[in-house]
Structure 1
Amino acid sequence: MTMRLRIGAAGLAMAVTLLAVSTAGSASEAQTIREALAKVLPDAKPTSVQPTPIKGLFQVEIGPQVMYMTGDGRYLIDGAIVDLETRENLAEKAQNEARQRAVEALGEDEMIVFDAPNAKHQITVFTDIDCGYCRKLHQQIDGYQAEGISVRYLFYPRTGVDTPSYDKAVAVWCADDQRAAMTEAKNGNPVDSKACNNPVQRHMELGELMGIRGTPAIILENGQLVPGFVEPKRLVQVLEQ
């Protein structure tokens, strides 16, 4: 079983084992699920536990992550749940919605935004200053804006905290003109380093929870995750599907 929770393989195996033998008290099913999770994943605080169309199965959200559990707290399911009548993947839809809520909860005050003059769409992009395809994406920022797509940047330096890529992200955020600094950095030019309160590490933590593995990682308006570079005209087609 593959889970998106940021726990190791040994911890996951223990969690699944303990969930299988957990016992419920007299609490409601939702509370039973919370109690079962608290025993095996004490740091994972569900933000939502809701019934699904399937009797006895509950949708559990932990920030941008979605999983499913039985009402007795015994079984955890991580994977596709497809309505064969509508052909809709309920799990994918729920995951997209949870991802989008997490992005919007962060707020544009913690993003660097390149607004389109006549915006019809917006995307949120996890970016790394030193990533080649991230630079290619930014080199076409005018093309996205011309297609009516506003671009909102979050930082995801793949090398981690306290590395040159991380320091460049902080320097861009702390610059007097963040957009100009982003463009300079993406062009490989140095940006004067300043220290300031910045959200770079929060961006990275959110990306980790979302399972981001590479950059650029594009979050569409509906919360769908599109990995990699997509040129402007193709992206607007995806957005308008």
Structure 2
Amino acid sequence: MWKQLCAVLMTASLATGVMADASLVQKQLAQKHPNLKIDTIQSTEMPGVYSGFVEDQVVYVSENADYIIAGSMIRLKDQKNLTKQLMLRQQKTDWKKLPLQDAIKTVRGNGKRQIAVFSDPNCPYCKTLETELAKLNDVTIYTFVTALKPQSLAPSKQVFCEPSPELAWYNLINQGIQPKSAKSCANPIERNLKLARNLKLAGTPGLVFANGSMLTGAYPAHELDAILKDIAP
């Protein structure tokens, strides 16, 4: 299916005869599809194909504005995910302004590399990401427990009543073991939910890197490792 879509897109772009530019593609989109809002139209490495954003989703547009593909563009020579790079550049925040005191801190190795994770204990993709994060070395992970699901609210709050919130979170997200403490205590859950909304994270898991780049989704460890290496000082 992917090969067929690419073939259609490339055939359409070649049929135009003249290479467009980003402003012309934007103009054609407005004329042909006035109800379709695609922002930040720009050229890509693939001739005749332009990238853009529909909210926080990357899409690709043919230069005649007749075709759209949603998915990842991979550069074959080095297997680099160019779509992911676009998203990293598009969504940014100020790492220094994150209230790290509201996160559960986990240090592995020398802990020099830093990443913040917004996670819900009942989110299946969060559980998948947790497995991938466990494969990273020399990293400090700040987990902002983000109880988006109603059933996540109570156990998420109770995590912070345990002697070791880090261990309690590990048991909850990885093994489904509920916190044992029955007492109430101060917790950052409401602040974390507000922070996630302010950052406009589309859902969980959400990722924020030390350079301020943000992603949403359960990325494999090797991709996370590559991002952390790219942003290393």
TM range (shorter): 0.5 to 0.7
Q: Which of 188, 192, 217 is matched with 2:176 structurally? A: 188
Report how far residue 123 of structure 1 moved.
0.3
Q: Which residue is equivalent to 1:214?
A: 203
Find the counterpart in structure 2 of residue 114 from structure 1. 106
AA of the residue aligned to 1:118? N
Alpha-carbon distance between aligned partners in 1 of 2:107 and 2:212, rounded to the nearest angstrom: 19
1:240 alignment partner, SS class:
helix
Measure the CA separation in 2 of the matches of 1:102 and 1:95: 15
Contact in 1 for aligned 2:160/2:186 (Cα 8 Å): no
* Selected match of 1:179 from 154, 166, 173: 166
Aligned residues, how many?
145
Identity of aligned residues (%): 23
Consecutive unaligned residues of structure 2, counting only runs of 5 or more, are: 1-38, 43-87
1:236 to 218, 225, 230: 225
The AA in structure 2 aligned to 1:239 is: L
2:136 is aligned with 1:149 = no
Assess, with a 3 A threshold, how the Cα gap between structure 1 residues 136 and 93 changes in structure 2: closer, same or farther.
closer
- TM-superposed deviation, 1:93: 6.5
C-alpha distance in 1, partners of 2:105/2:154? Answer: 20
d(CA) in 1 for partners of 2:219, 2:171: 22
How large is the RMSD of aligned CA atoms in angstroms?
A: 2.3
Is residue 2:88 matched to residue 1:123?
no
1:166/1:190 Cα in 2 relative to 1: closer, same or farther (>3 Å)? same
Contact 2:162 2:168 in 1 (8 A): yes
What's the CA shift for 1:233?
1.9
1:94 Cα deviation after fit: 9.5
1:20-40 Cα shifts (integer Å, max 9, x gaps)? xxxxxxxxxxxxxxxxxxxxx
